[in-house]
Each structure stands twice: as C-alpha cells, then as structure tokens.
Amino acid sequence: VSVAAQTFVLITAVRILLRSRKVPAATEARMKRYQSESNRHAERIRALWQISSCAGTDESRVQAVLDLGARTLRPGCEVIGYLTHLENATIVIDVVSADSSMVRSGPTAIFAPGTTLALEHTLHGILYKNRRSTAWNDLSEYDGRGLAYEAAGLKSLIGAPVQIGRQTHVLLFGSTHPMNDEPFGEDDLAYLD
C-alpha cells in the first residue's frame, strides 16, 4: 500500500472521528434548547391558569395580566407591560405592569398611567389598522423617527389589539433589549393573543 493511500485512510479516519465528536455536542445543545422552550411554555401555561382563576375586579385582573405577562413573556429579560387606548389621535396609557423595577425608575418610568403620547410617535397605529398581534424585535430600525419608545429606552415591542367593551385597547410589552438573538416568534404572538 502506498504512502498516499495510507495518508488518505488516516485523514478520512480523523475526519470521521471529528464528525462523530460533534454529534453529541450538537444533540446536547439541541436538548438544552428544547428544555428551555419547554420550561418557558410550562411557565406560560401556569401564568394563563393564574389569570383565568384570578378573582377580583376587572382592574385587578388587568393588572394580573400585565404583571404575569411581563414576567413570563421573556424570562430573564426585563419586560414591562402596558394597556393603552386611543383617544382623539392620542395614545393614553391606562395601566402599567407593577412588579417591574423599570416601572419605578429609569427612563421607562415616564410611561406612567395617564401619560399621553401622540399617535404618530408610536407604533400603535399599525396594531389598530391591522387588528392583529405584531412584534418589533429591534426598534433601532425606526431611529430618527421620533418614536416615544426611544425616550423610554425600549428596544423591542410586542403588542396586540384587545377589544374591551366598545373600545379597542392595545396590550403592549416592551423590553430595553432588542430581541435579535431570540426574536419574537409565532409562539410569542399566540401567547399574547
């Protein structure tokens, strides 16, 4: 057997060995991702159960929705929830999630209940027009447009129109982090709905 043939066999064996070492690592990474997704889905199911079994006034139920949504939409990422409505081309913030440190301090504190924002300085118009849940994973695409979210330090949003009585409200969740690494997906939109 020639040296060239032996070299070829040796190189092929090394390649096979290296490929076989990658398979367990890839499988382990995939299993960790599945476990993380399963844990997130389980937490969301628990949150939905808590909301459905929440007793009290309509106001306390809305507050529970915002608080649980802010905690479970993206665990490990600070998220703040808002319920807003449209009044004379102005967005009015009705309720804000209460258990976020972002609510009490920092730039997002400017979005307190009762705050009004010009419709043209928000993305709410898209939600009212399309009447479906929508996500914006990176608001830097809108830099320079004078959106109110910039002043609040929000970098990503996900929202849904919600009919309450005769009035359409918007349920909106924002984060100070862009969602580039793990963009909002169909499961997030379904959860919001």
Give residue-wise pLDDT tens across range 33-68: 777 777 776 776 776 676 666 667 778 888 888 888
pTM of the predicted model, to two decimals?
A: 0.73
- Give the SS3 label for residue 113: coil
- What are 128's two structure tokens? 């009212």
Q: Which of 128, 94, 133, 129 is nearest to 112 (CA)?
A: 94
CB atoms within 10 A of CB 97: 22
pLDDT band at 99 (very low <50, low <70, confident <90, very high): low
Percentages of the chain per state (helix, strand, coil), in multiples of 5: 50, 20, 30
Q: Which of 186, 161, 182 is nearest to 79 (CA)?
A: 182
Q: Does residue 164 or residue 138 have the better pLDDT?
A: 138
Q: Does residue 48 or residue 178 have the better pLDDT?
A: 178
- In sequence order, the 6+-apart residues with CB closer than 8 A to the CB of 27 are none
Q: What is the pLDDT of residue 23?
A: 66
Q: What is the mean pLDDT of the chain?
A: 81
The β-bridge partners of 171 are 83, 160
Most confident of 7-21, 54-68, 109-123, 172-186: 172-186
Give residue-wise pLDDT tens across range 116-154: 888 888 888 888 888 899 999 998 888 777 788 887 788
Q: Has residue 158 got a pLDDT over 90?
A: yes
Give residue-wise pLDDT tens across range 15-27: 887 777 666 767 7
Cα–Cα distances in Å, from 99 out to 66, 71, 105, 113, 153? Answer: 9, 9, 12, 14, 18
